[in-house]
Chains A and B, each alone.
Chain A
Amino acid sequence: MGIAAKRLHLHRILDEMKNAQLGLYSRAIAVALSLLFTTPSLFANNSKETDSSTTDGISKKEEIKAYIRHHLEDAYDFSLFSYTSEDGTHHYIGAPLPIILWDEGLQIFSSSKFHHGETVAKVDGKYYALYHNKIYRTDAEGTIVYDADHHPTNVKPLDFSITKGVMSMLIICLLMFFLFRSLAKSYAENGGLPAGVGRFFEPIVLYVRDDIARPNIGEKHYQKYMSFLLTVFFFIWFLNMFGLTPLGINVTGNIAVTSGLALLTFLITNLTGTKDYWLHIFDPLGSSMPWIAKIFLYIILIPIEVLGIFIKPFSLLIRLYANMQAGHIVLMSLIGLMFIFKSWIGSSLSFGLAFAISLIEVLVALLQAYIFTMLSALYFGFASEEHEH
């Protein structure tokens, strides 16, 4: 065969391959189109089904809503999942947690006494019942008395219980304590070289120091804030990642937790504030103006600056809380789609979307920890600023 003939042969093979590919593409497009056109009919079928049994559809939606709300809330027991057996009783898989109440004396008992809110707990002649995830003192029948606005008027004892959120925070604290202690030890043994998990954590710690603390706080003062910044960064990150596991905890999506973290930032900012920081708030213009002119400006300026002190940590707490809460709601709603569509399209759609959103949530978990640390460092930088007058 000559070269020209070979080339022709090759061309023919290539053409055939192209045709085959085109055939494949056209077939794929045809399948996709048919899917597109059949899915509305699937949905239509479904809507008809739900129309004929609207009460079932509504109750399903309500059930999913209640399920999401239950997941977002803190709980008095660590339940992984529950199921109903054939004889109609609920079975819960999980562990009860201690309940600590202050009700004219310390009351400590296990949350298994509530049987997941189904029964009244009797402790030392007093009766307690769970109502909307809060503990109230009741009588033996567990009656809850309501006022005009349908709020319970029962006595609410002070609650110091180790709830699911508290438990997970304690676990994370222990984890962090042993992890970073062993890291410090390994550094001492290896002569300052990272080993094991240290190889993973060293760049992160260095990043927090060199790219978050140093540029924002300044070379002179950054060291005294490092312990807080590192702790809060890893605490939030670990809790966020913990919340993505099937354990179903939502600690950073709890406004009380984020309030506590933001309160720490607020206290540290204002307690370590230098003279210049307070001067910036109460005398921002300094000696650039005669005092008569400043009075009129300060009527507006000082309230704004004082409000700013409180708005800064408030935005911190709202941002973390809302981001994590929103992530959990979206994930749970996507999983809920499966039960609303009741067809193969719902399951596959829900699985695909939930998987994609989970990946985004992994990024958000790190990003929110980073943002919280970053903004805290920024505020510490304001607090430790020193001008050369």
Chain B
Amino acid sequence: MEIPVMVGAGLVVIGVGMGIGRIGGSAMEAIARQPEAYGKIQTAMLIAAALIEGIGFAALFAVG
């Protein structure tokens, strides 16, 4: 019972990491393309990252 839950949570965290990584990477590219929109891109990036992060925490709570 315990091990499948842990593996599942690990998989979720991998997915969350990939998701936040993609957001960060895309934001970097967008800032490089349009440095004047830095503030707006950063805000949008933080919101998206925070929403995905919530899923990661939900997975961690399933374990602990």
Residues of A participating in the B interface, judged by any CB pair closer than 8 Å = 211, 315, 318-319, 322-323, 367, 370-371, 374-375, 378
A374 B57 Cβ-Cβ under 8 A: no
A152 to chain B, nearest CB (A): 23
Tally of contacts, chain A with chain B, CB under 8 A? 29
A318 with B61: CB separation less than 8 A:
yes
Interface string of B31-64 (1 = CB under 8 A from A): 0000000010001001100110110011011000
Nearest-Cβ distance from residue A25 to partner chain B, whole angstroms: 33
Quick check: B58 and A318 within 8 Å, CB to CB? yes
With CB as the reference atom, state the residue of chain B lying closest to A319: B54
Whether B50 and A371, one on each chain, are in contact in the complex, defined by CB atoms closer than 8 angstroms, is yes
Which residues of A sit under 8 angstroms from B53, Cβ to Cβ? 319, 323
Chain A, Cβ-Cβ closest to B49 = A371
What is the size, in residues, of chain B's interface with A at 8 Å between Cβ atoms? 12
Knowing A211-B39, A318-B61, A322-B61 are in contact, say whether A374-B54 is a contact too (CB < 8 A).
Answer: no
Interface flags, B14-37, vs A, CB<8A=1, else 0: 000000000000000000000000
Choose from B43, B46, B47, B57 the contact partner of A318 (Cβ within 8 Å).
B57
28 A-B interface contacts by CB (under 8 A)? A211-B39, A211-B43, A315-B51, A315-B54, A318-B54, A318-B57, A318-B58, A318-B61, A319-B50, A319-B53, A319-B54, A319-B57, A322-B60, A322-B61, A323-B53, A323-B57, A367-B46, A370-B46, A371-B46, A371-B47, A371-B50, A374-B43, A374-B46, A374-B47, A374-B50, A375-B47, A375-B50, A378-B47
Chain A: CB-nearest residue to B56:
A322
**Residue of chain B at shortest CB distance from A368:** B50
CA distance A322 to B63 in the complex (A): 13
Given contacts A323-B53, A371-B50, 11 further A-B contacts (CB under 8 A): A211-B39, A318-B58, A318-B61, A370-B46, A371-B47, A374-B43, A374-B46, A374-B47, A375-B47, A375-B50, A378-B47
